[in-house]
Amino acid sequence: MNRTIELVKTIYEIKQLENFDEAQIALAGRSNVGKSSLVNRLAGRKKLAKISSKPGKTRSLNYYKVNPDGYFLVDLPGYGYAKCSKTERAKWAKLIEAYMTSNPQLKAVAVLLDSRLTPQKIDMELTSYLKSLGIPVIPVLTKADKPKQRELAKLQSQWKDILQQKNNPLLFSSKTGKGEDNLWDVLGEYAKL
Ligand code: GDP
């Protein structure tokens, strides 16, 4: 299917949060995981989401409408940037918490995980938090063009155990387009729930 995504809203603060009737799927991941590249790949454009030369600088929630399906992909600010101040980190946590806990239309969170790294504590903290809220996690291993097949398989199995899911995490590469169709299918299924 020929899909398009368009940016319809950007917010920076809790008081700007509003409820939409449409289903939402959020995209989360630590800074530099390849989130902007993934959004651009899904959009089929190069510069829709700014590929960050300064990681951790995008503090906004960006709502993209997926057409013709009609649901929203909500790009959350990246987390875990080392040079980020405590105040900034706390602000991130508050905004994300407010977004996630007051949102019946949030169907799942696609958590992007760097396929070149072993499972990281900060990512596991987010996935357990989501689990505690009863929000489904869609794990996506990014930059899947980088590691060897064997390493990818090992990492998939580790994450499958950590998340106690029966399916393998998705593989995705913004560089080669690997996993793109599969990701669209999975997002579409969750958006329909
Ligand atoms: P963000 O901070 O999560 O938005 O990450 P970016 O999309 O800005 O990407 C961070 C870095 O990873 C950039 O240098 C990208 O070129 C690189 N990158 C992103 N996606 C891929 C990918 O699929 N394959 C490879 N090899 N590099 C990637």
* Pure H helices in the chain: 35-43, 86-101, 121-133, 149-163, 180-192
Domains of the chain: 4-192 (3.40.50.300)
Residue 175 CB less than 6 A away from ligand 1 = yes
CA of 38 to the centre of ligand 1 (A): 8
Beta-bridge partner residues of 108: 25
Atom number, ligand 1, closest to the C-alpha of residue 142: 23
138 C-alpha to center of ligand 1: Å?
Answer: 19
Rounded Cα–Cα distance for residues 48 and 42 (Å): 10
| Residue with CA at minimum distance from ligand 1 atom 6 | 34
User: Could you say which DSSP state residue 46 is in?
Assistant: S
CA dist 30 and 84 (Å) reads 12
For residue 21, the tally of other CB atoms under 10 A from its CB is 6
Query: Residue 147 CB: number of other CB atoms within 10 A?
Result: 18
Which residues does 184 contact at the CB level (< 8 Å), separation at least 6? 1, 3, 42
Query: ipTM of the assembly?
Result: 0.99
> pLDDT in tens for each of the 193 residues of the chain?
788 899 999 999 999 999 999 999 999 999 999 999 999 999 986 555 654 444 445 579 999 999 999 999 999 999 887 677 788 788 888 999 999 998 999 999 999 999 999 999 999 999 999 999 999 999 999 999 999 999 999 999 999 999 999 999 999 999 999 999 999 999 999 999 7
Answer yes or no: is the C-beta of 180 below 6 A from any ligand 1 atom: no
The preferred substitution site among 37, 83, 175 for testing ligand 1, maximizing ligand atoms within 8 Å of CB, is: 37
Q: What is the pTM of this model?
A: 0.94
CA of 51 to the centre of ligand 1 (A): 8
Q: Which residue puts its alpha carbon closest to atom 24 of ligand 1?
A: 143
